[in-house]
Homo-oligomer: A and B are copies of this chain.
């Protein structure tokens, strides 16, 4: 039971099974499954659970629900980001994007239903095992990471402004959900979430820089989505700003900042190892690293 509860994938399966129950229109049910499974690297929920574990994971059902909620909201943002009115991306995770496979209307509704499912799953954590103030804290942290004025919706909306605030754009479009991941993991375990913001912000920035590098030097066959998008759309990118070597240095600096920000906690050493190991994935094969 505890092992299953710890498994974010198990929670995701339960949430999507409930959302696609017998009465659900077939196309929407298929699209909900398609948008969530098979997953990507599940970087955010892993980070969330790792922080909860480092702090004793004293409410495993809540931390599993928090991790699942973060991932569902990430999936929702991908589905809506890929829409024709935004990136008009026809592929994602190595297969047609949701709007390419199911049409634009189902893609809008899939994103909406995933947002709702994220909050519904949090509210479904059994009250008997939940410290209610933790549930409220986790829900508010997660909502802050995706809504307005500081979350993904706001980040995406910066793309519509005549003058873009680059720092806020990246912080809200990418960083906010990473901050939500670390902070929700901490809050689910009953510790103050504020000291965990910097880890999320640093890993979020590292992830953004890594994505910029991949977009500049990789191919659609390797990463399962279009590349060269930043250059084509004239979008800001760490590679455009700093060059490839400079971007790699920035990536290394972000990871270092994240690692050294990890507060004292019972599982600090194990968390350091997990974050270091996961961060290795951020470096595309063949990219020249700085001397260690």
Contacts and interface: CB of A to CB of B under 8 A. Distances in A.
Stoichiometry, copies per complex: 2
A156 B104 contact: no
Contacts of A22: 149
B157 A106 contact: yes
B25 A109 contact: no
A144 interface: yes
A86 interface: yes
Interface stretch (A118-126, A202-210, A254-262): A118-126
Interface in A219-246: none
Interface string A32-69: 10000000000000000000000000000000000000
B153 A113 contact: yes
A265 interface: no
A19 B147 contact: yes
Interface string A83-124: 101100000000000000001111011011101110110111
A36 B7 CA distance: 39
Given A106-B160, A148-B28, A136 B127 contact: yes
18 contacts: A23-B154, A25-B161, A26-B161, A28-B157, A28-B160, A29-B149, A80-B108, A105-B157, A112-B147, A116-B147, A117-B143, A117-B147, A119-B119, A120-B143, A120-B144, A123-B139, A123-B140, A135-B136
Interface of A: 19-29, 32, 76, 80, 83, 85-86, 103-106, 108-109, 111-113, 115-117, 119-120, 122-124, 127, 130, 132-133, 135-136, 139-140, 143-144, 146-151, 153-154, 156-161, 165, 168, 172
